[in-house]
Amino acid sequence: MKTQIKTSLSIGILISIVTLFIYYIIKHISDFKQLSLVNPFYLVILLALFIFTYFLISLVTKNLLKPLGVRLKNFEAFALSIVTGFYNLITPFRGGMATRAIYLKKKHDFSYTEFLSSLAGMYVIAFLIASFLGLLSTYLIYLTEDIFSPILFMIFLGIFLPLLLIVIFSPKLPETKNNFINRFIKVINGWHTIKNNKRIIFIISSLTLIQLLIGSLMIYLQFQVFGIEINFIKCIFLTSIGSLSLLIAITPANLGVGEAVTVFSALTIGITATQSLSVVLLGRAIQFLVLFILGPIFSYILLNNKPNQNASKN
């Protein structure tokens, strides 16, 4: 019953946000008509960069699971990252993670508890770096353009400081009766899974930083596709807030919610809703194209994959 309510809520929110976007586009259709594909060649680069980000995700997954006894092959890790992204896109509440957990359990005998703990530990690092970049970009935008959003600054700070304290002091918190709060508690407690493995922390931190910078480059190129000038610091700002929006992901692949957060955040740094909405919709189009082509193919390959069970546990 709870699952049905959550699914209905997720779909309802998605439909509401999409309806608002459609209404806005119709209302401002003349503004959108003024935009054109000035640099369509960048679309090819964006496709390549998008696929490369999933390669980085596969490296994170592979290195995170290796000390826990699961040795994924390079292609298997990459295919699993694509399949995870695909099922996140078509199921609510990041169902791709559940798909990944089921695959690892069936193919590598990796327990769900260990998977969730390791995943939560990874999120501590990812959100810590994203919030730090958000604070840094907010400060640099203020210095160079005298634009400052106190609300977004407090959001970045409100995420960065607790996560920094978690990394330094490593508290372990009891879960509550509130499922929403428990999301954050599980992330906090998941840090214990990897906190003593300095190599894993360094690898995940480095790959996460690279991934966020590539994400910023992709946003920069998405603006350039339409001939819209934007500096790279603003792109880092938008990428950071977009990454942190995953904390409230309640729709498939954060559809609608991520776009709304990005559009409203862009307004605070002088980017019009028409410009930012065009850019995020282009990003989603690329995501849909890649994942709907590769997702089913790699799902079939992984279902028929028979890894060496002994190798996985050695």
More confident residue, 232 or 187: 232
Which tens digits make up the pLDDT trace of 1-52?
Answer: 555 666 666 677 767 777 877 877 888 787 777 777 788 889 999 999 999 9
**Secondary structure, 3-state, 222-267:** HHHHCCCCCCHHHHHHHHHHHHHHHHHCCCHHHCCHHHHHHHHHHH
Q: Record the pTM.
A: 0.83
Query: Can you give the pLDDT at residue 56?
Result: 94
Task: Classify residue 8: in a domain, yes or no.
Answer: yes
Task: Classify residue 21: in a domain, yes or no.
Answer: no
The DSSP string of 267-286 is: HTTT--HHHHHHHHHHHHHH
Query: Can you give the pLDDT at residue 254?
Result: 66
More confident residue, 205 or 249: 205
Interaxial angle between packed helices 232-244 and 112-145, expressed in degrees from 0 to 180 and rounded to the nearest 10: 150
Residue 71 phi/psi, 5-degree rounding, is -110, 100
Q: CA distances (Å), 172 to each of 184, 186, 187, 188, 204, in order?
A: 12, 9, 10, 7, 21
Does the structure show a pLDDT above 70 at 266?
A: yes
The closest of 265, 262, 269 to 141, measured between CA atoms, is 269
Task: Classify residue 23: in a domain, yes or no.
Answer: no
Query: Can you give the pLDDT at residue 107?
Result: 86
Which tens digits make up the pLDDT trace of 99-151?
Answer: 888 888 888 888 777 777 777 778 888 999 999 999 999 999 999 999 998 99
Task: Classify residue 160: in a domain, yes or no.
Answer: yes
The residues, any chain, with a CB within 8 Å of residue 27's CB and separated by 6 or more, are none
Task: Classify residue 275: in a domain, yes or no.
Answer: yes
Task: Classify residue 17: in a domain, yes or no.
Answer: no
86 close to 299: Cβ distance less than 8 angstroms:
yes
Total domains present in the chain: 1
Task: Classify residue 179: in a domain, yes or no.
Answer: yes
What is the domain range of residue 291?
2-12+38-306
Which tens digits make up the pLDDT trace of 171-230?
Answer: 677 777 777 677 667 666 767 767 777 888 898 899 999 999 999 999 999 999 998 889
21 close to 280: Cβ distance less than 8 angstroms:
no
